[in-house]
Amino acid sequence: MSTDHGHAGPVAATSVPGEPDHRHVTAVVVSHNGARWIPRLLAALEELAPLPDRLVAVDTGSADGSRQLLVSALGAESVVEAPIDTGFGAALVHGLAQLPSVDVPARQRWLWMVHDDCAPAPDALGELLAVATSAPDIAVVGPRVRAWPRGRRLLEVGLTITGTGHRETGLEPGEHDQGQHDAQRDVLAVGTAGMLVRMDVWEALGGFDPCLPLFRDDVDFGWRATSLGMRVVVAPAAIVFHAEAAARGARVIHNAAPSAHRADRRAALYTLLVNGSATALPWRYLRLSAGSLLRAIGYLLGKLPTAAFDEVRAMSGVLARPDRIFRGRTARRRLRLAGRSPDHRAASRLLPPWWLPYAHGADSWLGRLAAGVRDRAAVTSSSVRQLRAGRGDGSALETGPVPEEAENLPAGTGPVSWLRLHPLLAVTALLTVLALVATRGLHGAGFLQGGALLPVPGSAGGWWQLYTETWHPVGLGSDAPTPPYVVVLAVAGTVLLGKAWLVADLLLLFGPVLGAVGAYVAARRLLAGRALRAWVALSYACVLAVSGVAVGGHVGTAAAMVVLPWLVRASVPLADATPGTPWRAAFATGVALSLLVAFAPLAWPMAVAVGLAAVVAAVLRRRHSRCGPLLTAVALPAVLLLPWSLRFLEDPRWLLVEAGVVDRTALGAADIGWRLPLGRVGEAGAGPWWLTAGFALAALVALTRSRTRTRVAGAWVVIAVALVTVAVVGDEWVSVPGTDQLAHAWLGFPVLVVQAGALAAAAFAADGWRADVTSASFGWRQPVAGLTVVAACVSTVAGLAWWAVAAQHGDLVRRPATTLPRYMTDAAESGATKRILAIRTDADSVSYDLRLGDGDRLGDDGVLAAEESPELTALVADLISQGRPADIARLADFAVAYVVVPRPYDAAVVAELDAIPGLSRASTNARRLAGWQVDVPTGLLRVVGSGDSTAAADATVLSYHDGADAVIASGGEERLVLVATPAGGTFDVILDGASLDAVDAGALETGKAFALGPDGGRLAVAAESPRQWWLAGQACAWVLALVLAAPGARRAYDEEAVR
Amino acid sequence: MRWVRDLVAGLAVLASGAALVVALDTSSERTVPVRRSATVAPLDATLSCPESPVDAATRTTVFAVSPSPRNGAGSLQLRPLRAVTAMPLATQKLPRVPLVEELSTADGPSVMAVADGRRAAGATAYQFSVSTGKQQSGLAVSGCDRPAGQWWFNGVDTEAGTTSRLVLANPSPGIAVVDVLVYGPDGPVRAAGSRGIALAPMSQRSLDLATLAPGLGNAAVQVRTQRGRVVAAIHTARIVGVTPAGSEWVTPATMPSTDVVVNSGLVGSGQRLLVIANPGRREALVQVQALVESGPFKPTALGDLRVEPGSVLVTDVAAVADQASTSFRLASTVPVTGGVVSTTTGSRPEFAVSASSPALDAPAVVPVTSGTDLRLCASTAERGTGRIEVERFGREGDSLGSEELRVRGGSTACLDVEATSTPAYVVVSADRADAVHVVATYTGRDGVAAVAVEPGVWSLTRPAVAPAPAG
């Protein structure tokens, strides 16, 4: 059954038997479905010099003819069979067992392991033996392993294992063998492909661990040998070419786990846990558990669910079986070699530092990122060069397809040509300059505000806090779910280094620029001509600029129009004819639509209508695979925007309220009149109607071109949906939060969608129109097309020129967020959380607002209480008509610490407030406002002696910041804890672990009251809401949607290289 | 499938057009509830009397009453103008029953009437002082007023022989800061120390106007608060040679207006000076119309009067207003205020200053004191006949009957209140709000005095209040 190479040709065997330095080598080839590589292995074995003394092949149930190949080359007696699930170590043992014993001391017998997918160089065995016999403590020798079949790419020059279980070769990815690893060195282990092991050590260690049937058996073996004082050495002169077929998934493994990855991870975890010192074991357990979970999450993010599943299964298979670990460690502890017991210190010096896997991870990620950018740049520039060369002399060879960006490139090298070669950059630069000119006077210190725009918070942290807190201390207090646009702003602000003001500036002052960039990017997927794309981008910016939306402070519409082109871009695969089911595009569209709906909820029913129209079209065109993705895309906002989206079920009228405050000056559709289809909504600061008339004309003329009518019809469907939306909601009214006022629903978004649809229709029809016009005989089409193009271009130029030169700033101003004295706002925002009551007497009727800190900020508009507080209204009326001392306690019940009356004011009101005992004049800038301080302790959270208003003067104010935790002393029997939140919110008040009961005190109209009683202790107050769970669920949903929308990660295994 | 896309395109265009037509055609108005101001009963009332002189030669009596017939919780108290904890001088909880309290020296320097609850509506107080000394003599009657942010006085004299004191009272718990502006014939008088006069809570302060603007005859004085509200009054005492020629509280005038009605004041012969103050920055062209019993006429001697900006014009109207039942209507191109300074001659010279009076848009209380005759003169500058009802009440608040006085449009009519039934006070009400102006004249052995009858505060306007929308 074995092959004795003593007679195999002119090359002598490893030594002459009977001599003192006789070294007897037994080679064992293990084969499993390796027919693709065995012929080359056999050829390599034939060329070996010296040859092994004996060679046996073990085939583990191959089904691809491997055994036949081995038998035909080695003879049937040299090939033994083993069950299909036999591991590598077991196969070695099985092969050795079939060989007759030889009369050579075990110290001089060597076992050489050969994989069926490797090919040793002719002198490999000789070099291995030379190193093996160079020192008496060398027990294991490994070759320099290079890529199959004869590559110079290095695969292994010795091995170790990182703290995360990865095989560490010490090589750079793709590192070529240039002689840099020629020095012989000690390592922790060497790979089994070509490993030469002294037989006495092999026997003392009991061979490979049967628990490591395929992977990490080499590392484990080397680790054990090193622990027993033996050396594992690399012989760089010995070269073996290795396909690594199992590790690369190039063949199915039957003897380990269902997947190579799972087997690899299971082996890695096992190896780390059974070796090493016992004291480090708990730490290793923790590290490997957390690492495996993180790795699984990473695989999920990379859309490799199978790998994630393997990771989790491997982790559970090893970490959840401590008995196996215990047995493995016990077996290793009992190992003895020449009387020596294991010493972990010997092996630990050969382990890499703990941070190495993380450094590798970062290297890998950055490298891939850089490579991606570099590859794209290289492809583009190469294509541009090719095209230039082709146009320049007509002699350049066509070398293949060029990317979209390289089409229609003009020739030339001057700055003008450079700009024409980079139209997106040129459009962005031009519009940025125009925006800077158009918004002159709106830059500088202060906060952008006015119209529907509230000042932004001081930093993005304000938005994060607003979004995550359960109860909002704004106005009268609110537990309304924060609208999701707040978290979008928070993310944007965080990306902009926390500068919230920059978010508002970008959206409202540079919104046309951002919109144009998106429009150009979207046009790349839809239009072939570069000039046409640039026109679309400029015209889109023109539409936004002349609409007056930005100068009206309509941040919702402004942001939605920035997102809209990206939604279009994402949804293109849903409408094209590419085979397959575009699930990725569905999720990308859904994510973009969710962002859009977050700012402009009215976009949702519009998208549903367009989506249903697309589903009908898909059914008619027998593209049923499109229906699921389309429906998924339009349904996704309902999930991603929970729980906020539930309010639409409660009252569909919420769809009419977009980001920002409700515009009380908004006009109905009939009031806007015929300017409506031209993109005007009656805003102050909007451009003349005729500026965009060219776009509407072009959209109508676009219908006449037959070749592009399908896409133009699609654009008109969008226009129709937008106009129907305007017709439906154009006469609707929405309530102004916190008041009994009504305002017309804001029509900005659907009106601008009409214009965007007109642009799309015109652009679709213009795509390739020049060729059609010039090729056709002269008729009515040529002059009509020419005039339309002129009209559309004039509209764009005139609109942008008007924007830069003549546009007014409308309601938009930049000024300090508040005119209140700093000490008041600081006190209001302090731990006591006090409020400031501002009474305005400049209008026909007296109005008031309750502020916390320096007033409402962008985002607060979405959570302000919907209803007014009749008690507060009555209190204000009492204060300014005949204020009495009892009103001070009422003010304290609302946590009002200051009362201010901004100028211009009614002197009688100021005098009336002056006369109220308990209100002391506060220091203010008299040219701006008059102010008073409430002379009783007040704050959001108070402990009072009783529900009687007379107890207000003796109240104890507790600090509150997203909850309270304070130690209070004992006191009277009738003590109450008052939470001044008249507009809603559920609170848990706990004293020393016991919840306090809410009571029906007289103060309940201004908040909540809880019976405290005489006992003191630790008092904890927290808003009660399931919002944290909603947020967690929402975060998971967004991560999942983004993962599904993102391009998939490349698999780690490159099968092509193996072939 | 070309027909499908053409059909879709056509339908889309048709739908767009139809939607546009529908959108532009639909318009509706939503009725938003309009908040209106409400009229409510006052919860309390503080009436501060001017300085209450009490000494060997001067006797001061304070009269206060809550004329509202409604029973209920509440009280009317007389208190010294001191800290809130000061004990009341007198308390009355019954409706319509007056408090009449002669002050002692311990009650000074001034008192105030404080009403709350049901007694606050219409609460009224007056102060009567009779001086028989060498420095000053005569009857001085003054209303006790609510604190206000602005006060106007006309006919203020700071010439030699005359002593005019501005008395400022702050009956509220907060600090008040006051500016005093003086307008003379030559324009505004820049007086050092006239701005930023601070008054502590519950305090009173007296200023000699001669220190601010000496040597002015018939000046106009404006008191306005920078902060808080005060009660202001000006007391003038005259001496002719060494003989006291009367002491009087200058009646506060209404706010400057383009249409002002001024009663001529005292009965009897003597000097009658019409004082017109124009505090504005533009010249005032004032037309003077005399409202006498027989009807209105325009005195040819007066013609159109021009009053320089920020100055006072003094015109002798003795020829026109030598009878008590004469009033003047001043129709001006810019807001002005006015008054009539009446001087009687004889063995006991006396003077009185009447001022533009407010229209009687709510019932007013006028006290009746023993030893003096009360005459009520009502004027109306409007067309149509006004009717004044004068109901007499006794000391126990019982009604003693009523009388009626009819005033033809553009005329003045007077009524002598019968003293036979010794009423304690009368309640005067007019049927035409904003049209009838009433002046009460007291004549007795101690002298004469005239006060404008001010409507009581029976209700307050509670303004419409609404929460402001965000932003």
Residue B404 has pLDDT above 80, yes or no: yes
Note whether A23 and A198 are within 8 A (CB). Answer: no
Q: Which of A451, A703, A881 sits opposite B9 (nearest CB)?
A: A703
The pLDDT of B118-144, averaged and rounded, is 84
Q: Which residues of A touch B173 (CB under 8 A)?
A: 915-917
Q: Which of A847, A907, A917 sits opposite B173 (nearest CB)?
A: A917
* Pairs of CB atoms within 8 A across A/B: 188
Strands B350-355 and B327-344: antiparallel
Q: Which residues of B touch A874 (CB under 8 A)?
A: 465
Q: Where are the alpha helices (DSSP H) in A621-708?
A: 627-640, 646-650, 669-672, 693-702
Note whether A682 and A696 are within 8 A (CB). Answer: no
Give me the residues paired with residue B262 across strands: B328, B356
Contact at CB, A915 and B26, closer than 8 angstroms: no
Contact at CB, B40 and A872, closer than 8 angstroms: no
Given CA atoms A654, A656, A660, A665 in this order, what sign does their dihedral have? Answer: negative
Contact at CB, A911 and B175, closer than 8 angstroms: no
Q: Closest Cα of chain B to A629: distance in Å? A: 22
Q: Closest Cα of chain A to B146: distance in Å? A: 12
CB contact set of A797 (below 8 Å; sequence gap of 6+): none
Residue B324 has pLDDT above 60, yes or no: no
Note whether A519 and A536 are within 8 A (CB). Answer: yes
Q: Which of A555, A689, A709, A716 to mutate to test the interface with B (most CBs of B within 10 A)?
A: A716
Tokens of A424: 């997106």
Note whether A858 and A502 are within 8 A (CB). Answer: no
Q: How far apart are CA A193 and CA A246, in angstroms?
A: 12
Nearest-Cα residue of chain B relative to residue A668: B27
Contact at CB, B469 and A719, closer than 8 angstroms: no
B4 at A interface, C-beta within 8 A: yes
Q: Which of B5, B19, B173 sits opposite A710 (nearest CB)?
A: B5
B200 at A interface, C-beta within 8 A: no
Note whether B261 and B253 are within 8 A (CB). Answer: no
Write out residues 162-181 of B within 8 Å (CB-CB) of A: 172-176
Three-state SS across A866-890?
Answer: CCCCHHHHHHHHHHHHHCCCHHHHH
Note whether A302 and A286 are within 8 A (CB). Answer: no
Tokens of A939: 């704050």
Contact at CB, A845 and B35, closer than 8 angstroms: yes
Q: Looking at residue B31, what is its pLDDT?
A: 66
Work out the pLDDT band at B272, boundaries 50, 70, 90. Answer: confident
Note whether A603 and A571 are within 8 A (CB). Answer: no
Nearest-Cα residue of chain A relative to residue B15: A720
Q: Which residues of A touch B469 (CB under 8 A)?
A: 661-662, 664, 736-739, 741
Nearest-Cα residue of chain A relative to residue B170: A915
Tokens of B190: 């820049």
Contact at CB, B23 and A664, closer than 8 angstroms: no
Write out residues 130-149 of B within 8 Å (CB-CB) of A: 147-149
CB contact set of A179 (below 8 Å; sequence gap of 6+): none
Q: How many residues does the structure list for chain B?
A: 471
Q: Which of B26, B175, B229 sits opposite A670 (nearest CB)?
A: B26
Q: Which residues of A touch B23 (CB under 8 A)?
A: 669-670, 676, 723, 726-727, 730
CB contact set of B21 (below 8 Å; sequence gap of 6+): none
Q: Which residues of B touch A934 (CB under 8 A)?
A: none
Note whether A3 and A75 are within 8 A (CB). Answer: yes
Q: How far apart are CA A942 and CA A879, in angstroms?
A: 23
Residue A190's φ and ψ, nearest 5 degrees, are -130, 160
Given CA atoms A543, A549, A551, A554 in this order, what sign does their dihedral have? Answer: negative
Strands A929-934 and A964-968: unpaired
Q: Closest Cα of chain B to A1053: distance in Å? A: 46
Q: Closest Cα of chain B to A1002: distance in Å? A: 21
The pLDDT of B376-382, averaged and rounded, is 86
My answer on whether omega of the bond before B109 falls inside 30° of 0, hence cis, is yes
Q: Which residues of B touch A739 (CB under 8 A)?
A: 466-469
Q: Looking at residue A8, what is its pLDDT?
A: 33
Q: Which residues of B touch A920 (CB under 8 A)?
A: 174
Q: Which residues of B touch A849 (CB under 8 A)?
A: 467-468, 470
Residue A391 burial (CB count, 10 A): 13
Q: Looking at residue A130, what is its pLDDT?
A: 92
Q: How far apart are CA A679 and CA A540, in angstroms?
A: 11
Provide the angle, in degrees to the nearest 10, between the axes of the packed helices A511-526 and A555-575.
10
* pLDDT tens track for B415-431: 888 765 566 899 999 88
Q: Which residues of A touch B9 (CB under 8 A)?
A: 703, 709, 712-713, 716
Q: How far apart are CA A107 and CA A102, in angstroms?
A: 13
Note whether A284 and A164 are within 8 A (CB). Answer: no
Instruction: Report which secondary-structure segment, H or E, holds B23.
Output: helix B2-25
* pLDDT tens track for B181-190: 999 988 998 8
Residue A848 Ramachandran class (φ > 0 left, ψ -120 to 50 alpha, else beta): beta
Q: Which residues of B touch A709 (CB under 8 A)?
A: 2, 5-6, 9
Q: Looking at residue B296, what is its pLDDT?
A: 86
Note whether B51 and B124 are within 8 A (CB). Answer: no
B360 at A interface, C-beta within 8 A: no
Q: Which residues of A touch B175 (CB under 8 A)?
A: 921
Residue B290 has pLDDT above 80, yes or no: yes
Note whether A925 and A821 are within 8 A (CB). Answer: yes
Note whether B81 and B112 are within 8 A (CB). Answer: yes
User: In degrees to the nearest 10, what's the CA dihedral of A631, A637, A639, A644?
Assistant: -150
Unique residue bearing structure tokens 């906020």: A644
Residue A296's φ and ψ, nearest 5 degrees, are -60, -40
Shortest CA distance to A727 belongs to which of B326, B278, B27, B284? B27
Note whether A276 and A105 are within 8 A (CB). Answer: no
Q: Which residues of A touch B177 (CB under 8 A)?
A: none
Report how far Cα B389 is from the mean position of its chain's Cα atoms.
Answer: 20
B371 at A interface, C-beta within 8 A: no
Q: Closest Cα of chain B to A665: distance in Å? A: 12
Q: DSSP 3-state assignment of A910?
A: helix
Q: Which of B5, B25, B462 sits opposite A670 (nearest CB)?
A: B25
Q: How far apart are CA B313 and CA B300, in angstroms?
A: 17
Q: Which residues of B touch A868 (CB under 8 A)?
A: 466-467
Tokens of B321: 């207003």
B464 at A interface, C-beta within 8 A: yes
Q: Looking at residue A9, what is its pLDDT?
A: 33
Q: Which residues of chain A have pLDDT under 70?
A: 1-22, 249, 252-258, 376-414, 831-832, 843-844, 946-952, 983-985, 1001-1006, 1048-1059
Q: Which of B27, B35, B467 sits opposite A849 (nearest CB)?
A: B467
Q: Looking at residue A71, what is its pLDDT?
A: 92
Q: Closest Cα of chain B to A580: distance in Å? A: 22
**What's the predicted TM-score (pTM) here?**
0.74
The pLDDT of B259-275, averaged and rounded, is 78
Q: Which residues of A touch B18 (CB under 8 A)?
A: 727
Residue B254 has pLDDT above 70, yes or no: yes
Contact at CB, A876 and B40, closer than 8 angstroms: no
Tokens of A840: 């305005």
